[in-house]
Chains A and B, each alone.
Chain A
Amino acid sequence: MQVNRMGGPAVLAEGLAKRYTGREGTVEAVRGVDLEVRAGEIFGFLGPNGAGKSTTVRMLTTLLTITSGRAEVAGVDVATDPDGARRKIGVALQEAGLDKRQTARELLVMHGRLFGLDGPGAKERADELLTLVDLEDAADRVIKGYSGGMERRLDLAAALVHEPEVLFLDEPTTGLDPASRLTIWDEMRRINGRGTTVFLTTQYLEEADQLCERLAIIDGGLIVREGTPQELKADLRQRRGGGDEPTLQDVFLDATGRTRQRAAGEVQEVAA
């Protein structure tokens, strides 16, 4: 299992908050998230639409300023040393963000150069990544003609150019057909198997159940559940007073208050 240079967690958030102030008043998108992701794990980050998932990920990946609280990735503070944090992370956000007028090889070589590799080094790394995501045959075609699955795989490859310690994947399988989704799952497992921590945001509970060692559920800008899928299911079963083994979907609906048969009481914030 990979451990960052500080020997601490791969991702750490303490009281992380984001507030937007506009003409229509103040919106608290994230209201104090505490998280700890262990080095080497696949961590699932779940939540309904508008819960604060993407905002949290954007703060952790230096794309959004933090209103209050603090966050570290691989031991580097994202607010005080954003470039240091960027060297440690790979990012594949919602909707494969690619320059579709380039070929896959051109894009990967350019990313290699931007991360400081020399010409031959960048070309070599691009070749390795094209093999890793099985895009060698399409490497010299303009990305515009790629299928959704190919774009996602290339997006993954682009996020891995600099061999990041932590890979943030924001809904990497949304909109993909089942076969492409399984391919991305395999890629994720393979990448994680090489020691990279994966922070996976997803709306697919089956995906989280299959891939994640631990997960957190966010709702209304707060973490409302955190643990392994088994722990969360066991907790719900206990609160229900036994019966059938709940699914992760039951846990999700219970945690976000979106079920008619909620087990007990109000949603509680759970500290990491």
Chain B
Amino acid sequence: MTPTIALGRRALREAIRQPDALLMTMFIPLFFLIVNTGQAAKIFPTKSTGFLEGQSYGAFQLPITLLLAASFGMAAVFLVEEIEAGYFDKLRAIPIPRYSIVLGRLVAEGVKGILLSSVIVLLALPFGISIASGVLGFVLLVALSALWGIVYAGFMQLVALKTRSAAAVNAGGLIFFPLLFLTPNFVPRDLLTRPMEIAATINPVTYLMEALRSLILDDLVWSKIWPGFAVVAVFGAIMLVLNVRVIQHYD
């Protein structure tokens, strides 16, 4: 067993033993799904709203729920707790590659992301939301959500390693909210006002959201799907390099 897998298994056990944190990760995104759909569903009826592709407004909102759930990972919170308590130093004193300490947590975030996204999508199905892209689309949907969870956890771990402060980690988590709302989260991009459209176009989260939305509403439209995977690939690589660099030089 590699150190990364051993530490990933530990992080999963840790998550299982903190069920309240897992429940909140599910509850808040589902709360937003219900509230946003409840508020705007009448404005966008299925029959007369072309961009819904015959589905309910809930299907249009589901990507936001998935992105929110993927962005509520606790990896950085647990990491900063470990730094403050001294266990992080104990791990650093073991002859393992130091990057495995951060990668172990990211692997666990990936597994959690797969499970959480699958549960959220399965919970949405009885409410008339379907995955138009089929089984492969479902797999891609879950994979993209989980990959984003890893990228975001990587960013938060970076904050934890640089600041070594629980307060900074909590504040860092708020960064995602402006990015989430500077997207076509309520209507497609071409219906946004011009300033919002420009902001959404330069916001990488937009492409992630549009890829997820495409997998829910359309058949497999690769031109909409690949930009989402490109975003996680680019930001994932950046986060990976920075995480490894910071932990290698951690003093």
Contacts and interface: CB of A to CB of B under 8 A. Distances in A.
Interface of A: 58, 61-65, 83-84, 86-87, 89, 91, 93-102, 106, 110-111, 113-115, 119, 142, 158-159
B94 A111 contact: yes
Interface in B74-92: 82, 85-92
B86 A93 contact: yes
Contacts of A61: 93
15 contacts: A61-B93, A63-B89, A86-B93, A91-B93, A95-B85, A97-B90, A99-B14, A101-B14, A102-B13, A110-B6, A111-B94, A113-B3, A114-B96, A115-B95, A119-B1
Given A95-B86, A101-B13, A65 B18 contact: no
Given A64-B251, A95-B85, A97-B87, A86 B95 contact: yes
Contact of A158 (B9, B90, B92): B90
Contact of A114 (B6, B87, B88, B89): B6
B245 interface: no
Interface residues of B, number: 24
A63 B92 contact: yes
Contacts of A119: 1
A113 B1 contact: yes
A101 B108 CA distance: 15
Contact of A101 (B3, B18, B94): B18
The 10 A-B residue pairs with the shortest CB-CB distance, nearest first, are: A97-B86, A86-B95, A83-B95, A91-B93, A97-B87, A97-B90, A101-B14, A113-B6, A101-B17, A87-B95
Interface string B1-39: 101001101100110011000000000000000000000
B94 A114 contact: yes
Contact of A86 (B14, B85, B94): B94
